[in-house]
Structure 1
Amino acid sequence: MTSPIFARIQSSRTADDIVSQIETLILEGVLRVGDRLPGERDLSVQFDVSRPILRSALKSLEGKGLLTTRHGGGTFVADVIGEVFSKPMMDLISSHRKAAADYLEYRREIESIAADYAAQRATEDDRLLLRRIMEAMQEAFETNDFKKEAELDVELHNAIGECAHNIILLHTLRSCYRLLADDVFYNRTVIYGFPGARAKLLEQHRAIFEAIMASNSTGARAAVHQHIDFIQRAQTDATRSSAWQDVSRLRRNQRESDTK
């Protein structure tokens, strides 16, 4: 059983105290979008407050758009990340080729900063989390679980953002990785299909991981740059290969129709 993340309210035991604590947990990335809060009884025990005070706090947080209640299903952290890249904006940028290049350029620079900070600031708990993700990535690679590899790719980068211990970096990166998880700019499974690409990606992820574990901020920055540069080249190759296949198919269809 995991330890509770909610602490007993020590002072006046008001709804404001609870609101402040939950806001901090969301801001620091401890509570993520979609996380379900414990039931009202358990939560009131953890906070050591009465249920009316707890209900008042939850109602306040819901009014701020930080929590959402599903009828008969509990209370969840609301989708606060979606406001950074709204659906209309995501649709707009995904339909423009230049946006894909700009996205990778942005990731190269912002992730290198996050990896740098993570190398300097990661705690023992952070390092344990990174190690577990890296071990899971190795297992997914060895079992040819492409879907799991793609999920862990996003999870590792998310975790590095958390290990940077910078709130603004954390949330901008999370919005950035949502685009990655949704394959808005490119389909990662296509890149995984290229000969040797999966092994190369695993090697690059391990290089970032090892630099952070060694507190090597310069090495972490360099490893991120190499990783994003590789993705950029692979994406260009994938696009060209797809275009070649389309043209080849058209030629074959045309010539087959001429012989009929």
Structure 2
Amino acid sequence: MTASIPPLSRRARSVSAEVAAHLEGLIISGELRAGDRLPPERELAANMNISRSSLRQAMFELESKKLIERRQGRGSTVADTPYTAAELAGSLAETEIELGHASELRDLVEPRIAHLAALRAVESNLLSLENVLGRCHDGNSADESLRLDIEFHALLAHAAQNPLLVTLCTMTTEWTRRTRTLSHRTKRGRRVSLDGHRQIYEAVARHDGASAAVAMEQHLREVRELSLHTGRR
């Protein structure tokens, strides 16, 4: 079955980058899943009202990020998790990890992800991150705020262009879900989380790896303190 692609919201950016960001966001959010077949390029370009050359550039970028697979005569499909990453996830998932240990792992992994994302992010990555931040506001529910939080960190990991780091980010997200839930219970917590994301994004957009890592470290400290405070209530 061929996947349905939602309309593209156009901005004054490179068309191919906008398309890549749009499709990447659908993949990261789970709207497009591993194995989903994308419409034929001619049809997809017509539906999105873009040229086939712009679409091809976007598809090439997604393929280079290992988000889709393109095969002659079979079209394009959303890629599975790379075997090496899946193997790592499987071996670690069987081990019972305490929340404190998982938080320590997050402190080790996520600043490095932010640093690499700042060095390696391309225009489509920045557009995807902007899109998530644009959907964050004071009216978000706790559940929606948590979902956008997870999506932001997942997109940041993809911007680092390393599939193993994407897998580590996914695993630490699951291990720290309870902590994240606590930090999003209050409006203040959701605001602090969003402010942290904005500071991280600004550093990534400047391609300032050191500042991105520092912003992430500060963000994780604030989230941890919020979670501890909320958990004691």
The question of 1:146 aligning with 2:147 is answered no
Name the counterpart of 1:110: 109
2:72 to 25, 48, 60: 48
CA distance in 1, matches of 2:179, 2:170: 18
Indicate the SS of the match to 1:210. Answer: helix
CA distance in 1, matches of 2:199, 2:140: 21
**After the TM superposition, which residues 80-99 of structure 1 pair with which residues of structure 2 at under 5 Å, given as runs?**
81=86, 83-86=90-93, 88-89=94-95, 92-93=96-97, 99=98
Shift in Å, 1:208: 0.6
The question of 1:200 aligning with 2:211 is answered no
Shift in Å, 1:159: 0.6
Name the counterpart of 2:166: 170
Letter aligned with residue 192 of structure 1: H
Shift in Å, 1:78: 7.3
Letter aligned with residue 229 of structure 2: D
Unaligned stretches of 5+ in structure 2? Answer: 6-26, 42-69
In structure 2, the CA distance between the partners of 1:131 and 1:168, relative to structure 1 (3 Å rule), is same
Shift in Å, 1:187: 4.7
Indicate the SS of the match to 2:36. Answer: coil
Which protein has greater RCO, CA pairs closer than 8 Å, 6+ apart? 2
CA distance in 2, matches of 1:85, 1:47: 32
Instruction: Report the aligned-residue RMSD.
Output: 3.6
CA offsets 1:167-216 (integer angstroms, 9 cap, x no match): 32222222222334xx3xx2533322346222111111111111101112
Alignment check: 8 A CA contact 1:119 1:215 kept: yes
Alignment check: 8 A CA contact 1:115 1:164 kept: yes
CA distance in 1, matches of 2:148, 2:222: 18
Shift in Å, 1:42: 6.0
Name the counterpart of 1:238: 230
Q: How many residues align?
A: 176
Unaligned stretches of 5+ in structure 1? Answer: 3-28, 55-66, 68-74, 94-98, 242-260
CA distance in 2, matches of 1:207, 1:117: 16
Name the counterpart of 1:228: 220
Alignment check: 8 A CA contact 1:150 1:188 kept: yes
Name the counterpart of 1:214: 206
Q: Normalized against structure 1, the TM-score is what?
A: 0.57
Indicate the SS of the match to 1:142. Answer: coil
CA distance in 2, matches of 1:162, 1:78: 12
CA distance in 2, matches of 1:164, 1:79: 16
Name the counterpart of 2:66: none
